[in-house]
Chains A and B, each alone.
Chain A
Amino acid sequence: MITFMNNSDSEEEPCNERTSLMSAESPPVPSYQDGLQASQAGEAQAHRKRRTGSSRSPNNIADGETSDSGVPVREGILENEEEELTLKYGAKHVIMLFVPVTLCMIVVVATIKSVRFYTEKNGQLIYTPFTEDTPSVGQRLLNSVLNTIIMISVIVVMTVFLVLLYKYRCYKFIHGWLILSSLMLLFLFTYIYLGEVLKTYNVAMDYPTLILVIWNFGAVGMICIHWKGPLQLQQAYLIMISALMALVFIKYLPEWSAWVILGAISIYDLMAVLCPKGPLRMLVETAQERNEPIFPALIYSSAMIWTVGMAKPDTAARRSSQQAWDAAEDGRENHRSPSHADSQMSERRSPVPTRPITSFEELEEEERGVKLGLGDFIFYSVLVGKAAATASGDWNTTLACFVAILIGLCLTLLLLAVFKKALPALPISITFGLIFYFSTDNLVRPFMDTLASHQLYI
């Protein structure tokens, strides 16, 4: 089932990300009764795991529907309040996303710095067949570009496959795939990780204890991610599997290919999410048409949104919306198809402030959550981890990349608040990260070294 190339044992997953920041204001006026549709974000997972999330802002729908001539003044006031609410919630949600992204990066960087296994070259994945051990620079560049093309085309094929599966309602297949992926991530990769960490710290561990620990970790992880569990635990698990996936990528992607792949995938993300015929966009739109929740275990959400318990004609929708918000946190999963090993992760980042359904009788307090696809987590961590692993500037470069990614995340969230639809989370952050990496490594570090050696303090 799993094909190996050299000693590689991991699969790469293409990640697609979409971030949709939807600001949802709870309308105090009963006429804004479109929360159900507005709060559903459709996400589809691409072959490897792509999730697209998009949620329509209730305001958009509401704007077209409401025509309360009797309360124009109130509408005006409401709009102002809603705008304020948008901004307030936007800042809070930025912070709510900073913490998990930072945690993921910290885990990855700490592992890279301490466990040598993840920086050793031990073969490559079959998705990057061209080696980088070439005599000339031009050849190396060509090989990395070819690797990137192969990788991105695998990702595109996966995404399109997933969109087709979703369109033709092959839900069982998709769910089975997701479960298989998370199984592999939670058990196999954790086993490898634990083994390497124990070897690094020279600790003796026996098989019975190890099996018990891994079994507990994996089983509770599956329960939390795919079923019901405490929110913080779900978030922690998603962060952990994102970190594991990022470590796999860092280990098995050759140097130059990794950077080119990062650049190419942010361009792909941009196109897939924003172009009218982009697969991710189609996925989201299909999910929204059907009013279905996104697949669980692919998106990290920072809060739970619950619908008010009012009489809903469509119990399925209610169940699905609960499920969507309950299992909003996703993990990247390594997905291996039975016939060939290739893991792609697609993550969609969709910050979705969900709005509980408001009824005439009860007005529930909104809990707005921001969602970010796990692919975003993974690729951010890959960038920072690669910087930590290979940069000559050591912590300078790592911190610079970290700050760059957070700035990009901030800007993306801001754009989300402005545009109110699904947006890709990768392009801005990865662009900043790449710029900062190369400039810090080649410009800032020699500068700082020279200053330090001449004892000049500025």
Chain B
Amino acid sequence: MNLGRVSNEEKLELCRKYYRGGFALLPFLWLVNVLWFFREAFVVQPYGEQQQIRTYVRRSALGLGLWGVALGLWVGLFQSQRQSWGALGDYLAFTLPLGTP
């Protein structure tokens, strides 16, 4: 879909829907929102709805950052501590690497 050919109200509506959709454990959706609407929010000449689009993009970026930090911490924790967790580590693991650690 080409943003250049959509009306401003539709852009705002789309941005808002993407923002709200990201709350369903979808940080990827927030990432798409930020990347897709970044130009619309910060680069293009200002228009009526741009202020609201900016807030949505900012909030999406904030949510994305929080998710990124949380995910990074969890993955780091898991990868380094998995062996010391014993049975819980195996239970949580989807694939286990073969061979000696």
Which A residues form the contact surface with B (CB < 8 A)? 195, 198-199, 202-210, 212, 215-217, 219-220, 223, 228-231, 233-234, 304, 306, 309, 326, 367
Contact B95 A215 (CB under 8 A): no
Q: Which among B1, B74, B75, B93 has the greatest number of chain A C-beta atoms within 10 A?
A: B1
What A residues does B94 contact at CB under 8 A? 195, 198, 205-207, 210
Tell me the bound Cα distance from A202 to B94 in angstroms.
11
CB distance from B14 to the nearest CB of A (A): 6
**Interface assignment of B96: CB less than 8 Å from any CB of chain A:** yes
CB distance from A309 to the nearest CB of B (A): 8
Tell me the bound Cα distance from A376 to B25 in angstroms.
34
What A residues does B75 contact at CB under 8 A? 206, 209
Contact A195 B2 (CB under 8 A): no
Known: A209-B74, A229-B32. 18 other contacts (CB 8 A): A195-B95, A198-B94, A202-B98, A204-B82, A205-B94, A205-B95, A207-B92, A209-B75, A210-B94, A216-B27, A217-B28, A219-B24, A220-B29, A223-B21, A223-B29, A228-B1, A304-B2, A304-B5
What B residues does A199 contact at CB under 8 A? 95
Instruction: Name the contact of A304 in the complex, choosing from B1, B7, B71, B93 (C-beta under 8 A).
Output: B1
**Interface assignment of B48: CB less than 8 Å from any CB of chain A:** no
- Measured as residues with beta carbon below 8 angstroms from the partner, the interface class of chain B is 20 to 34
The SS class assigned to the A binding surface is helix
Contact B92 A206 (CB under 8 A): yes
**Interface assignment of B46: CB less than 8 Å from any CB of chain A:** no
CB distance from B62 to the nearest CB of A (A): 18
What B residues does A209 contact at CB under 8 A? 71, 74-75, 78
Contact A230 B32 (CB under 8 A): yes
User: Restricting to B20-76, which residues have a CB under 8 Å from any CB of A?
Assistant: 21, 24-29, 32, 35-36, 71, 74-75
CB distance from B44 to the nearest CB of A (A): 16
Contact A204 B26 (CB under 8 A): no
Contact B93 A207 (CB under 8 A): yes
**Interface assignment of B84: CB less than 8 Å from any CB of chain A:** no
Tell me the bound Cα distance from A207 to B74 in angstroms.
12
Contact B99 A230 (CB under 8 A): no
Chain A residue at smallest Cβ distance from B18: A223
Q: Which 9 A-B pairs have the closest CB atoms?
A: A216-B28, A306-B5, A304-B2, A198-B95, A202-B97, A206-B92, A205-B94, A230-B36, A210-B94
Chain B residue at smallest Cβ distance from A210: B94
Contact A204 B1 (CB under 8 A): no
Tell me the bound Cα distance from A378 to B2 in angstroms.
26
Contact A204 B71 (CB under 8 A): no
Given A219-B26, A228-B1, A326-B1, A208:B97 Cβ within 8 A = no
CB distance from A240 to the nearest CB of B (A): 14
CB distance from B60 to the nearest CB of A (A): 13
What A residues does B5 contact at CB under 8 A? 304, 306
Tell me the bound Cα distance from A304 to B32 in angstroms.
18
Given A209-B74, A212-B71, A216-B27, A202:B99 Cβ within 8 A = yes
Tell me the bound Cα distance from A220 to B35 in angstroms.
14
Tell me the bound Cα distance from A206 to B78 in angstroms.
8
